[in-house]
C-alpha cells in the first residue's frame, strides 16, 4: 500500500482518481488525524467506499471505527459515501 505525504495535498484530487488504495489511505488519514484533527465521519466514508471498491482491510477498520461512533455519525458517513459513489 502506498503512503501519501499529506502536507499540502488536495484530498479531493486524491479521491477523484478512484483508486481503492487511495480511498483506503484517505480513510486511515482521517481516522488517525494524520493530516490534522480526527474526523470519524470522513474516515468512515472513505473506508466504506474503499471496502465497496474491494479493499478487504477497509471493512475491518470501518467496523472498528463504527463501534466508537454514534448512529447519527454513521448515517451521515453512509449518506456521504453513497453520494460520492453516485457522482464518481
Q: Whole-angstrom Cα distance, residue 83 to residue 88?
A: 9
Tens place of pLDDT per residue across the chain (88 aa): 444 444 445 565 667 677 899 999 999 999 999 878 999 999 999 999 999 999 999 999 999 999 999 999 999 999 999 999 998 8
What does the pLDDT look like over 13-27, one tens digit per residue?
667 677 899 999 999
Rounded Cα distance, 74 and 55, in Å: 19
Q: What is the DSSP letter of 7?
A: T
Residue 21 has what pLDDT?
92
H helix runs in the chain, sequence order: 11-16, 20-32, 40-52, 56-66, 71-87
Domain extents for the chain? 18-87
Amino acid at each position: 500500500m502506498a503512503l501519501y505525504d499529506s502536507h499540502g495535498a488536495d484530498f479531493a484530487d486524491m479521491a477523484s482518481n478512484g483508486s481503492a488504495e487511495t480511498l483506503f489511505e484517505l480513510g486511515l488519514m482521517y481516522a488517525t488525524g494524520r493530516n490534522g484533527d480526527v474526523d470519524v465521519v470522513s474516515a468512515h466514508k472513505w473506508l466504506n467506499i474503499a471496502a465497496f471498491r474491494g479493499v478487504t482491510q477497509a471493512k475491518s477498520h470501518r467496523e472498528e471505527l463504527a463501534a466508537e461512533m454514534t448512529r447519527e455519525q454513521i448515517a451521515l458517513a453512509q449518506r456521504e459515501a453513497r453520494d460520492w459513489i453516485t457522482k464518481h
